[in-house]
Amino acid sequence: MNILGIDIGGSGIKGAPVDLEKGDLTAERHRIPTPQPSIPAAVAENVGRIARHFSWSDPIGCTFPAVIKNGVAWSAANVDRSWIGTDARRLLEKATGCPVRVINDADAAGIAEVTYGAGKGRRGVVILLTFGTGIGSAVFTDGRLVPNTEFGHMEIRGKDAELRAAARIRKEKNLGWKKWIVRVNEFLSRMDVLFSPDLFILGGGVSRRWDRFSAYLDTRAEVVPARLLNQAGIIGAAHAARSLRKTS
């Protein structure tokens, strides 16, 4: 079964068909810059352009950087705040002419890793954390997602955790890997106390630099790098939309 996955980010919108049996892209990713300002109508038009690029007429899975409930955006991260309260599912269905499942971007990445990647076959509590502009989170218990967690906004030392430990902060403050990992370990320690996870999966761009910082990680849970990297959102979104194929 192939489903088109589309990943909406603050700087780019990218998509590709996904083979759900293998968790692989079946065509080269097509990327379009996210319009600025990233208002709903403009973003939806670019999502429609990606669907037309693949001549797609079947279900689509689409990530969005927000809390998503019943297809509606309840927040907006790195996109225009006019998205808050927007029925993203209805808007994207109109733009593409296809049934659409909209899902939080970190949740989609987590689904991809648990289904095909570093968390495949793992039971217990598995937490994916993506370190990029902010910190995204996805929590699973025995493979079942607890949707729309936003642990990057957990308060640590009077600030959102992502304002202390996101990959962006490491670059902006010119922190070496050891100094940055002190902040990451503080965040992981808080998560460890609250959830007693069996496995942390660390994603985002820093997962490519695993060899630079993994030796300094300090947490009771096992910690591994994400495997699917920048394809995770596309793959997870497509997987989340698989039920639409059965009912469409």
Q: What is the pLDDT of residue 49?
A: 98
Question: Same structural domain for residues 80 and 164?
Answer: no
Question: Same structural domain for residues 100 and 122?
Answer: no
Number of domains composing the chain:
2
Strand partners for 204: none
* Structure tokens that stand for 233 in this block: 């959102």
Question: Same structural domain for residues 214 and 143?
Answer: yes
Query: How many angstroms from the chain centroid is the CA of residue 107?
Result: 5
Question: Same structural domain for residues 11 and 93?
Answer: yes
Do residues 6 and 15 touch, judged by C-beta distance below 8 A?
yes
Question: Same structural domain for residues 139 and 79?
Answer: no
**How far is Cα 8 from Cα 43, in angstroms, rounded to an integer?**
8
Would you list the DSSP string of the chain? -EEEEEEE-SSEEEEEEEETTTTEESS--EEEEPPSS--HHHHHHHHHHHHHHTT--S-EEEEESS-EETTEES--SSS-GGGTT-BHHHHHHHHHSS-EEEEEHHHHHHHHHHHHSTTTT--SEEEEEEESSSEEEEEEETTEEETT--GGG-EETTEETHHHHSHHHHHHTT--HHHHHHHHHHHHHHHHHHH--SEEEEESGGGGGHHHHGGG---SSEEEE-SSGGGHHHHHHHHHTHHHHHH-
Listed residues 104, 132, 147: the one ending a domain: 104
Q: What is the pLDDT of residue 205?
A: 84
Q: What is the pLDDT of residue 247?
A: 47
Instruction: Evaluate whether residue 232 is within a structural domain.
Output: no
Question: Same structural domain for residues 99 and 161?
Answer: no
Listed residues 76, 104, 132: the one ending a domain: 104
Question: Same structural domain for residues 98 and 129?
Answer: no
Question: Same structural domain for residues 14 and 97?
Answer: yes
Instruction: Evaluate whether residue 222 is within a structural domain.
Output: yes
Question: Same structural domain for residues 131 and 89?
Answer: no
Other beta carbons within 10 angstroms of residue 26's beta carbon come to 12
Handedness of CA 81, 85, 86, 87 (dihedral sign): positive
Predicted model pTM: 0.94
Listed residues 77, 104, 131: the one ending a domain: 104
Domain housing 17: 2-104
**Please, what is the angle between helix 88-96 and helix 40-53, to 10°?**
40
| 130-151 pLDDT tens trace | 999 899 999 999 999 999 999 9
Instruction: Evaluate whether residue 220 is within a structural domain.
Output: yes
Mind listing the pLDDT tens digit of every residue in the chain (248 residues)? 999 999 999 889 999 999 999 999 999 999 999 999 999 999 999 999 999 999 999 999 999 999 999 999 999 988 999 999 999 999 999 999 999 999 999 999 999 999 999 999 999 999 999 999 899 999 999 999 999 999 999 999 999 999 999 999 999 999 999 999 999 999 999 999 999 999 999 998 899 999 999 999 999 999 999 999 889 999 999 999 999 986 44
